[in-house]
Amino acid sequence: MRSFARLMGSVFALLAALAGGDALAQAYPSKTVTLLVPYAPGGGHDAMARIVAEKLGPRLGQTVVVENKPGAAGMIGTEQVVRAAPDGYTLLFSSPAEIVVAPSVYRTMRYDPVRDLTPITQVGDTPLVLMAHPSVGVKTVAELIAKAKKEPGKLSFGTAGTGSSQHLAGAWINNLAGIDLQHVPYKGAGPATNDLLGGNVPLGILGMAPVLKHIQAGRIVALAVMTPKRVDWAKDTPTVAETPGMEGFQANHWMGLLGPAGMPPEVVAKLQGEVAAVLAMPEVRERLRGLGIDPVGSSTEDFRRFLAEERERFAKMFRLTGLKQE
């Protein structure tokens, strides 16, 4: 009889916990939700975050705002999210740099991306592009390599920051091609794009989103994309790997949504579902494709597995660059 009573008590406790979880999911959110972009305004992450926030707010029944917190290749903004309460009201709109690249680049970090963050969903994927200001006078990767060999150390490339996927891609190109392109880090793709447009930096390695319209207008020359194969919206642009001597080169770029460690599973599930629903909207997909971004909206478990694979891939990539840990 006592065993039966204990069993029934366990059943009632489980039912209460499940009911409590449902109630938590239904009650969330009860105030403004912040999507923190760890880069300056004007880049691809900022643009996508604002598109998602615009449509996510009505679905959640609360305002969703975008806050920019640039610095240290995304790590300053990430630290702010790590320190936030794990209640789903402060979320990170991330890039690879601060999540999967930084552990390879830096000997010490003030947070552990695996331990201190909760993956929610991968929101987008966009190719990295190697490009030049028209004044440089090159139209292909082969021409760039030839020019760089004639003028060693004189050409530079801008990226979203030290330790970014763009930085590693440029270092790998240097190593494979035997050239010495100088790295110029910015606090995001927006400022880097502006300097590339102005000719203040001759080359750039950035995501497609902030530069696609400038490439289409002829203000920037796209030399190559860094995907394994050519992309649909830039079929005339070759891949870096098509250049002799650069076979096997690949560097991708993506956007993800994460929160602080310890978030309630019910809140994570609600956010994943609502963000996926936003990314499935035809209007949103069209706007993102116009920026050169493929919407994803993966499950939380798929995103968790993806991050583990990306950490390993970028660790291997870092070893191929010839860079040393900072």
3-state secondary structure the chain: CHHHHHHHHHHHHHHHHHHHHHHHHHHCCCCCEEEEECCCCCCHHHHHHHHHHHHHHHHHCCCEEEEECCCHHHHHHHHHHHHCCCCCCEEEEECHHHHHHHHHHCCCCCCCCCCCEEEEEEEEEEEEEEEECHHHCCCCHHHHHHHHHHCCCCCEEEECCCCCHHHHHHHHHHHHHCCCCEEEECCCHHHHHHHHHCCCCCEEEEECCCCHHHHHCCCCEEEEECCCCCCHHHCCCCEHHHCCCCCCCCCEEEEEEEEECCCCHHHHHHHHHHHHHHHCCHHHHHHHHHCCCEECCCCHHHHHHHHHHHHHHHHHHHHHHCCCCC
Q: Say yes or no: domain 127-242 is CATH 3.40.50.10470.
A: no
CATH number belonging to domain 7-126+253-321: 3.40.190.150
- pLDDT at position 324 is 84
Residue 20 has pLDDT above 60, yes or no: no
Domain with CATH 3.40.190.10 in the chain: 127-242
Tens digits of residue pLDDT in 26-54: 799 999 999 999 999 988 899 999 999 99
Domain with CATH 3.40.190.150 in the chain: 7-126+253-321
Residue 96 has pLDDT above 60, yes or no: yes
- pLDDT at position 6 is 45
Residue 238 has pLDDT above 90, yes or no: yes
- pLDDT at position 169 is 94
- pLDDT at position 12 is 47
Tens digits of residue pLDDT in 101-141: 999 999 899 999 999 999 999 999 999 999 999 999 999 99
